[in-house]
Amino acid sequence: VLGGSGQQGGGIARRLARAGRRVIIGSRDPARAAQTIESWRASAPIESAGYTDAAAAADVVVLAVPFSSADGVLEACRPHFRRGALLLDVTVPLTFESGTAALVPVAEGSASEHVKARAGADVRVAATFKTVPAQLLNDIDRPLDCDEFVCGDSAESRTEAAALIAAVAGLRAVDVGPLQRARSIEHLTLLAIGINRRHKVHDARFRIVGL
Ligand SMILES: NC(=O)c1ccc[n+]([C@@H]2O[C@H](COP(=O)([O-])OP(=O)(O)OC[C@H]3O[C@@H](n4cnc5c(N)ncnc54)[C@H](OP(=O)(O)O)[C@@H]3O)[C@@H](O)[C@H]2O)c1
């Protein structure tokens, strides 16, 4: 989990470790990340490493850094990704200028398409974990009760990403199709932030009925 010492990545790392997956947190400062892991008192072990070492060690890489940092992280990791690795893009191109949340325009259409264009030809990309709130993920003993959208560059990428989501207790994966659907998902993250602010909550989330 690149950026797994942070809010969203930390919640994902802890939930996946609890689901029995081997988790490595990629960090600019692995020693500091090790201290963060220690503070979690996680029931399952989680390792830390530099970004490139973490990328090289994983078949599934979660990109959970601020969107503004994604280009630098991808440039550094590109030569180190395993051939055929699945990159799960969690980034949302948010800005909070003058206290208002908004999406930064992205030339490719979405953060995930931007990431796909920079991940390297041998890396598959799916977008997910973009709408489940960090607050809820990190309340580690609280059961999850929502859906998480998955889109990706192939049916195989989506199936693999959905299996990982399904491994997290209480989270249901909803396959929404090709990677371009990340444009809609990223707008839903913005919508959730707006709902949180308006209704003074921290964990607005989505569940699709009728499936
Ligand atoms: N928070 C949410 O509820 C939420 C929900 C959905 C999606 N997301 C998306 O998930 C991604 C991570 O969000 P977050 O809230 O977890 O962010 P965050 O806590 O601010 O940052 C996550 C990690 O990114 C790493 N990082 C790399 N370059 C950085 C830089 N230049 N400045 C700061 N941190 C840097 C840091 O890890 P090291 O210092 O260990 O390298 C940091 O702990 C974002 O793209 C966000 O849009 C967040």
Q: What is the pLDDT of residue 56?
A: 98
Tokens of 97: 């200028």
164 Cβ partners below 8 Å, 6+ apart? 16, 21, 60, 88
pLDDT in tens, 18-27: 999 999 999 9
Q: Per DSSP, what are the bridge partners of residue 48? A: 25
**Total count of residues recorded for the chain:** 211
- Bridge-based pairing state of the strands 146-152 and 124-127: antiparallel
Question: Nearest residue CA, atom 25 of ligand 1?
Answer: 3
Helix (H) or strand (E) holding 22: none
Q: What is the pLDDT of residue 115?
A: 98
Top-confidence residue, 44 or 15 = 15
**pTM of the full structure:** 0.98
Residue 70 has pLDDT above 90, yes or no: yes
The chain-wide mean pLDDT, for the chain, equals 97
Q: What is the pLDDT of residue 7?
A: 98
Q: What is the pLDDT of residue 14?
A: 97
- 97 CB-contact burial (10 Å; exposed 0-12 / middle 13-18 / buried 19+): exposed
Average pLDDT over residues 147-162: 98
Question: Nearest residue CA, atom 36 of ligand 1?
Answer: 3
Q: What is the pLDDT of residue 98?
A: 84
Which residue reads 């979690």 in tokens? 40
Tokens of 37: 């892991």
Average pLDDT over residues 143-171: 97
204 Cβ partners below 8 Å, 6+ apart? 133, 192, 195, 196
- Cβ atoms of 167 and 16 within 8 Å: the answer is yes
Average pLDDT over residues 102-117: 98
Question: Which atom, in ligand 1's list, is nearest to the CA of 51?
Answer: 41
Q: Which residue out of 1, 2, 5, 7 has the highest number of ligand 1 atoms within 8 Å of its CB and is therefore the one to mutate?
A: 7
Question: Which atom, in ligand 1's list, is nearest to the CA of 28?
Answer: 41
Q: What is the pLDDT of residue 44?
A: 86
Residue 43 has pLDDT above 90, yes or no: no
